[in-house]
Amino acid sequence: MRNAKRLNLVLLGVMVAWLAGCSLNKTTGRSQLNVLSRDEEIQIGTQGKAEMVKEYGGEVAKADLRQYVTEVGMKLVKTTAVDDPTYQTLPWEFTLLDSDVINAFALPGGKVFMSRGLAVKLSNEAELAGVLGHEIGHVMARHTNERFADALKMQVGAGLIDAIVGGNIATTLTNNFGDIALKSYGRAQESEADSLGVRYMVRANYNPYGQQQVMELLDQVTGKDGRPPEFLSTHPDPGKRAKAVAALIAKDYPQTQNNPAYGLHEAEFKSRFLSKVSLAFPGAGPSRLARTRAELGPADAIGILGSAIPGRACAACGTAGR
Local confidence band at 315 (pLDDT 50, 70, 90 cut-offs): very low
pLDDT attached to residue 61: 92
E-strand spans in the chain? 22-24, 31-33, 93-97, 104-107, 111-115, 313-314, 319-320
* Arithmetic mean of pLDDT, 178-195: 71
Contact in structure between 307 and 144 (CB atoms under 8 Å): no
Range in 155-169, 181-195, 274-288, 301-315 the model is least confident about: 301-315
Q: Kindly tell me if the per-residue pLDDT of 309 is higher than 90.
A: no
Local confidence band at 34 (pLDDT 50, 70, 90 cut-offs): confident
> What percent of the chain lies above the pLDDT cut of 70?
66
pLDDT attached to residue 228: 52
pLDDT attached to residue 287: 36
Q: Kindly tell me if the per-residue pLDDT of 205 is higher than 60.
A: yes
Local confidence band at 280 (pLDDT 50, 70, 90 cut-offs): confident
Q: Kindly tell me if the per-residue pLDDT of 211 is higher than 60.
A: yes
Contact in structure between 296 and 221 (CB atoms under 8 Å): yes
How many whole angstroms separate alpha carbon 314 and alpha carbon 317? 5
How many whole angstroms separate alpha carbon 84 and alpha carbon 172? 41
* Mean pLDDT estimate for the chain: 78
Q: Say which residues have a Cβ less than 8 Å from residue 203's Cβ, sequence separation at least 6.
A: 79, 82
DSSP-derived letter for residue 236 is: P
How many whole angstroms separate alpha carbon 17 and alpha carbon 48? 29
Q: Kindly tell me if the per-residue pLDDT of 225 is higher than 80.
A: no
> What percent of the chain lies above the pLDDT cut of 90?
54
pLDDT attached to residue 15: 44
pLDDT attached to residue 235: 65
Contact in structure between 62 and 280 (CB atoms under 8 Å): yes
